[in-house]
Chain A
Amino acid sequence: MRLRGRRIVGGFGEGIALVLKSPISFLEGVDSRGFIVDPETGLEGRRISGRVLVFPWCRGSTVGAYKIYSLSIMGLGPSAMVCREADIISATGCGIAGIPLVDRVQPDPLKTIRTGDHVKVYADLGLVEVSKRTLRPESPPRRS
């Protein structure tokens, strides 16, 4: 499935999607090792490193932009972000960290992407490519 949106920060990133139900504050909602600690997101305890974060927008302090940067240079940051509406924190944070960021994606990424899907973000083209999560393959029939 292909979704179209707007480039905020260019580049390419891919990984398993983490779809957050609520806006995220990077300052308080993610710890210094890159684990989500905000229960509102529905993904408390999940690690953001190497993932594609899908969320409505950022909330809270603009210092959150520094948090995105510091996680990223320690190799603990997400590989790309997709949000409904970019805001000053996501734009600044991804801008300084060089994390591809796409917003205003149609159809609504929070409804079309599911946690576990594999997502490729071609930010310069505003393109998000989603491979749906495959169900766990059944174990092959045993040879008797």
Chain B
Amino acid sequence: MRVERWIEAALDGEYGEGLRIASRMLVAIGEAFEADRLIPVRSCHISGVSYRTIGEPGLRFLEDLASSGVKARVKATMNPAGMDMSKWAEMGVPENFAQKQFKIVKALESMGIEPTLTCTPYLAGNSPDVGSHLAWAESSAVIYVNSVLGAMTNRESGPSALASALTGLTPRFGMHVNECRRPTHLVEVEGNIEGALMFSALGYLVGREVGRGVPSIPSVRGASGDELKALSAGLGTSGGVSMFTYKTQRGLPRIKVHTRELLNIIEKLSTGSGGVVCLGCPHLSLAEVRYVLELLKGRRVRGTLWLFTSRAVYRRASSKGLVQALERLGVRVFKDTCMVVAPLEDMGVKSIVTDSCKAAHYVKLITGGRVQVSLMSREECIKEAIEREA
């Protein structure tokens, strides 16, 4: 791989330990994946923010890096933390966890990373232009910006996206190269698919089938942004997909999907019944927050209903009075976090109800099955929250 002179100097430690580590990481990844050179990126999105996810080793790394005084050279945003940064006590997050979480966010902020604390940065002020090269982590956001917004990014990891933020560069391979963005499979969907649950199940199924391929799914053209957000999250969960496309070409292997297969997936991912109703994986958009309020039709929830969104959407929802109206009906609206990265067991949560196949998959995996999950459509989730006492 060809490397700029200043990166060579950075590798030798001329610009300090932080840039030395960042450039060594990027060169290693570039060598491993046979990149030809490093290219500038317009923005970065960094995952691995929750203390639950990265633990002591991650905290240590971020604090060491921050103490070297290195700063982001391009716009960079943060994935969700393990708690709402102001309402953590109300969520039942233990004090000890909260202290560690504050340290992680502080270390990242001191390197110039914006505390957007969301998996939907494209709804929170980090919306890339068509054709712009990025270094984003968080698979659901990667797939959304590659596929829906036409930006170009590989599926980065937390540390590699951070290294790109600090250098402004990423190795050029994979999704940065047009030839790698051509469809590899054609997905034909039989029957009508609607709503977040079904779109996330479609993504989950297709991701499992195509591995690291680029599925062409022409039938989802015209779906809402929120449905495509759910599709992206499903696609990123079960495989190594970095993007989907509406374009197709002749001779592609076909994958036929029936709605009953999607219902099978939903049933397989469901392990429990009832519990805390959690919506917001990926984080809810403003339209989705409003839709939940509409579905409630002024009825109070008897169970527990938690909504998760970004602080950017929370602010907008709050200024329109939506948050206040929801809280009056007994709904809790949290920002900065979600059910996947919060320490659910430590918060005393034993089972959840959600409409996201991604959340179902990861909650089961991360808690080792100690937290049960049941999947329902968004409308059924609201009904559950109104009718059943948690």
Contacts and interface: CB of A to CB of B under 8 A. Distances in A.
Interface of A: 6-9, 32, 62-63, 65-67, 69-71, 73, 86-92, 94-96, 98, 101, 103
B32 interface: yes
Given A63-B55, A66-B54, A88-B160, A96 B31 contact: no
A92 B31 contact: no
A67 B158 CA distance: 13
B70 to A, nearest CB: 13
7 contacts: A8-B31, A66-B54, A66-B61, A69-B57, A88-B32, A92-B160, A103-B32
Interface residues of B, number: 24
A95 B54 contact: no
A69 B158 contact: no
Nearest to B30: A91
B32 A91 contact: yes
B61 A95 contact: no
Given A66-B57, A66-B61, A70-B56, A98 B24 contact: yes
Contact of A63 (B29, B31, B158): B158
Point out which of A63, A66, A88, A103 has the most chain B C-beta atoms below 10 A from its C-beta.
A66
Contacts of A6: 31
B159 A73 contact: no
Contacts of A62: 48, 157-159
Contacts of A71: 57
Interface string B9-40: 00000000000010011111101100000000
B359 to A, nearest CB: 17
A46 B133 CA distance: 43
B28 A91 contact: yes
A140 B41 CA distance: 66
Given A7-B31, A66-B54, A67-B57, A88 B157 contact: yes
A74 to B, nearest CB: 9
B28 A9 contact: yes
B24 A95 contact: yes
A132 B28 CA distance: 29
Nearest to B47: A62
Given A66-B61, A69-B61, A70-B61, A92 B54 contact: no
